[in-house]
């Protein structure tokens, strides 16, 4: 009985401390995908991420846009959807702790927004790069 | 000794679980809290909208009663999800405006949703579709909200499946006199941005009382 209880206690503590931030967990997943795509992949790069985030492309609407068109250049303040006018909460986790807090949401927005801006899916490497950039902004 | 350890381990089990659940349901709870707060009534008198709000809430709880408590909670949870998902890019338009067939088509074409990718997790997709269909203009029992939007939903011919409320006959008729510059201005951007002029659109009220067009003022017919 005592053995069993201490096992539970240890397990709970372990799972608490081992709960890495979701963004780190997702970056790990993306890194292994990126390595599969390209064996020479070493690590993500926030500089490449910045380029992905700020460069303009012909998006899904046939208009030249970049991520900054809606999110703005300063990720610590609100953005605005240029098509609907809806306010977008800050993207930086430093200003908005809800950002990058769920893998499900990170996957959803990266899938949608790569389509919107690049009119194609993002690769694992691109997603990791841009996440790293957002994390540190 | 044994009981103390048992108690301790139960506590240790419960605490992290509680943390995880609160974090997950955080936005849902806040949404519900906001939703069931009485509306600000600056004039201090019970105006038509407040009456309408009360009536709608009463009807909603009656409707939920018929489903039983469990489905009621499920339905309310779906509503929070709907507001969060659909409302992150645009106003979460009331599903009572459009018929079931419109919402089905909407949910089947999210890959190209008004030229944006609006795809979502399959579980969420199912829940939101269920919520939209349960609240469509042509499903469920008549209530004051369906009644209020009746003129728009009835102006949709049986053979058409509009995806925009703004494409319906009655909507166009109601908005035809508004100069295009007032719609295109940066404070509004598009005719689909209800809340830019209808200050209580998010809560479902589109009456002239709360209608203020930016850089113009009140609009009188």
Instruction: Give per-residue pLDDT as tens, A27-61.
Output: 999 999 999 999 999 999 999 999 999 999 999 99
Residues from chain B that touch A116, judged by Cβ atoms under 8 A, are 116-117
Residue in the block written with tokens 């910045």: A50
| Backbone CA torsion sign across B101, B103, B108, B110 | positive
pLDDT exceeds cutoff 70 at B140: yes
pLDDT exceeds cutoff 90 at A11: no
Chain B contact for A60 (CB, 8 A cutoff): yes
Q: Which of B90, B187, B188 comes nearest A86 by C-beta?
A: B90
Calpha distance B47→B64 (Å, rounded): 26
Residues from chain B that touch A112, judged by Cβ atoms under 8 A, are 116-119
Q: With bands split at pLDDT 50, 70 and 90, how would you rate the model's confidence at B147?
A: confident
Highest mean pLDDT among A25-39, B43-57, B70-84: A25-39
pLDDT exceeds cutoff 70 at B79: yes
Chain B contact for A11 (CB, 8 A cutoff): no
Give residue B35's pLDDT: 40
**% pLDDT > 70, chain A:** 86
Neighbours of B174 (CB within 10 A): 15
Q: How far apart are the first and last CA of chain A?
A: 50
Q: With bands split at pLDDT 50, 70 and 90, how would you rate the model's confidence at B189?
A: very high
Calpha distance A114→A67 (Å, rounded): 9
Per-position DSSP letters for B67-124, written without gaps between them = H-HHHHHHHHHHHHHHHHHHTTTS----GGGS-HHHHHHHHHTGGGBTTB-----HHH
Provide mean pLDDT across the span B131-140: 90
Give residue B76's pLDDT: 74
| Length of chain A measured in residues | 137
Which two three-digit tokens encode residue B45?
């008198």
CATH architecture assignment, domain A21-135: Orthogonal Bundle (1.10)
Provide mean pLDDT across the span A66-92: 96
Calpha distance B188→B180 (Å, rounded): 11
Per-position DSSP letters for B119-180, written without gaps between them = ---HHHHHHHHHHHHHTSTTSSS--HHHHHTHHHHTTS-TT---S-GGGSHHHHHHHTTS-H
Is B116's CB within 8 Å of A15's CB? no
Calpha distance B129→B82 (Å, rounded): 9
Chain B contact for A16 (CB, 8 A cutoff): yes
Dihedral of CA atoms B173, B179, B181, B186 in degrees, nearest 10, equals -50
Give residue B63's pLDDT: 57
Is A8's CB within 8 Å of B116's CB? no
Give residue B145's pLDDT: 86
With beta carbons less than 8 A apart as the criterion, state whether B181 and B206 touch.
Answer: no
The least confident of A86-90, A112-116, A129-133, B14-18 is B14-18
With beta carbons less than 8 A apart as the criterion, state whether B41 and B94 touch.
Answer: no
- Report chain A's mean pLDDT, rounded to a whole number: 91
More confident residue, B140 or A56: A56
Calpha distance B7→B201 (Å, rounded): 51
Q: CA angle, B125 as apex, B61 and A90 as ends, to 5°? A: 90
Give residue B61's pLDDT: 64
- Nearest chain A Cα distance for residue B12, angstroms: 7
- Complex-level ipTM: 0.81
Chain B contact for A15 (CB, 8 A cutoff): yes
Residues from chain A that touch B197, judged by Cβ atoms under 8 A, are none
Calpha distance A131→A44 (Å, rounded): 9
Check: pTM over 0.80? Answer yes or no: no
- Report chain B's mean pLDDT, rounded to a whole number: 80
Using alpha carbons, select from A103, A111, A108 the residue that is nearest to residue A60: A111
Calpha distance B169→B164 (Å, rounded): 11
Is A86's CB within 8 Å of B89's CB? yes
Calpha distance B97→B109 (Å, rounded): 19
């Amino acid at each position: 009985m005592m053995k069993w209880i201490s096992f539970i206690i240890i397990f709970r503590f372990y799972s608490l401390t081992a709960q890495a931030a979701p963004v780190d967990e997702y970056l790990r997943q993306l890194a292994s995908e990126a390595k599969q795509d390209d064996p020479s992949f070493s690590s993500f790069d926030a500089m490449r991420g910045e380029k992905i985030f700020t460069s303009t492309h012909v998006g899904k609407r046939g208009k030249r846009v970049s991520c900054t068109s809606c999110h703005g250049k300063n990720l610590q303040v609100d953005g605005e959807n240029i098509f609907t006018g809806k306010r977008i909460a800050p993207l930086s986790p430093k200003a908005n702790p809800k950002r990058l807090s769920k893998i499900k949401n990170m996957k959803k927005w990266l899938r949608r927004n790569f389509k919107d801006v690049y009119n194609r899916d993002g690769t694992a490497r691109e997603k990791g790069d841009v996440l790293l950039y957002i994390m540190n902004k | 000794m044994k009981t103390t350890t048992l108690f301790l381990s139960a506590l240790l089990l419960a605490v992290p679980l509680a943390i995880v659940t609160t974090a997950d349901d955080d936005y849902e709870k806040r949404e519900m809290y906001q939703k069931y707060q009485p509306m600000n009534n600056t004039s201090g008198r019970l105006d038509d909208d407040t009456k309408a709000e009360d009536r709608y809430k009463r009807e909603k709880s009656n409707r939920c009663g018929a489903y039983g408590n469990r489905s009621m909670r499920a339905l309310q949870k779906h509503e929070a999800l709907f507001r969060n998902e659909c409302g992150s890019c645009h106003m979460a338009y009331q599903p009572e405006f459009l018929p079931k067939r419109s919402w089905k088509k909407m949910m089947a074409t999210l890959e190209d949703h008004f030229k944006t990718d609006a795809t979502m997790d399959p579980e969420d997709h199912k829940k939101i579709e269920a919520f939209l269909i349960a609240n469509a203009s042509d499903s469920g029992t008549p209530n004051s909200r369906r009644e209020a939007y009746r003129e728009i939903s009835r102006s949709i011919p049986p053979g058409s499946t509009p995806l925009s409320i703004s494409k319906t006959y009655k909507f166009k008729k109601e908005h035809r006199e508004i100069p295009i510059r007032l719609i295109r201005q940066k404070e509004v951007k598009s005719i689909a941005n209800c809340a830019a002029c209808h200050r209580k659109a998010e809560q479902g009220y589109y009456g002239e009382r709360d209608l203020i067009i930016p850089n113009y003022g009140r609009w009188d017919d």
